[in-house]
A = this chain, B = another copy of it.
């Protein structure tokens, strides 16, 4: 189905704009992703938008043609609109020329196959969508299976998180769980839980990592609760040579993840 929207007050414009808001995303079970690169990543991962929104005056591109054809073939909707309206939808002054509406993925722990990858990233109450997207991107780079978000984390389907993931939202599995749910799930199978800590910790370059390794990072301002640290199989410490006693959450996760990757030699 193909149609053209010319008015700002069109209900579809309102619907698309509403997807920038978490409450509406959850009600609809949909999220927005922008840009040819991100949508091409999605397509190559077998994820097509249910609705493809394209701005008039966009530059032609063979990948855009391929995307459009695939969305049409799959019975998706194609919406042509003005650059101004697309800008209003995405909330960016210089929007990409296309955006897509995707159905949110299954985010249950039960959907994860822990044996599918040697590394999993786990974040507790991660508040910053940029950090969340960056962790997805790092997970993709180290060959992780996905990101498990514990407790009250930012929404992985926010425009900001999707953007910062640089496409990894489509390659990484995402699960949302409370700690009380995560821990029994983890202990129901193989899995080593590792966190950076100062509590009887080993130097992070000399620790016996084992796959599947679950790398746990804490909230940006409070770090990990004590009981979470105690529940870890391995606590490791990274050098802190300056005044600061911690790293940015996404940075800590990445330094640990690359160390684990090198040690597992997978």
Which chain A residues have a beta carbon within 8 Å of chain B's beta carbons? Answer: 41, 44-45, 130, 134, 137-143, 164, 166-168, 171, 205, 238-244, 246-248, 250-251, 254-255, 258-259, 261-262
* Copies of this chain, tallied across the complex: 2
The answer for the CA separation of A182 and B250 in the assembled complex, in Å, is 30
Bound Cα distance A171, B241 (Å): 11
- Which of B140, B246, B248, B262 contacts A250 (CB under 8 A)? B248
Contact status B243-A138, CB under 8 Å:
no
Which residues of B have CB within 8 Å of A243?
A: 41, 44-45, 140, 167-168, 171
Which B residues are in CB contact (< 8 Å) with A246?
166
Closest residue of chain B to A241 (Cβ to Cβ) is B143
Assess the B140–A242 pair: CB atoms within 8 A.
Answer: yes
Whether the pair B254, A138 counts as a contact (CB closer than 8 A) is no
A166 (CB) vs chain B CBs: closest residue: B244
Task: For the complex, give the distance between the alpha carbons of A250 and B138 in Å.
Answer: 11
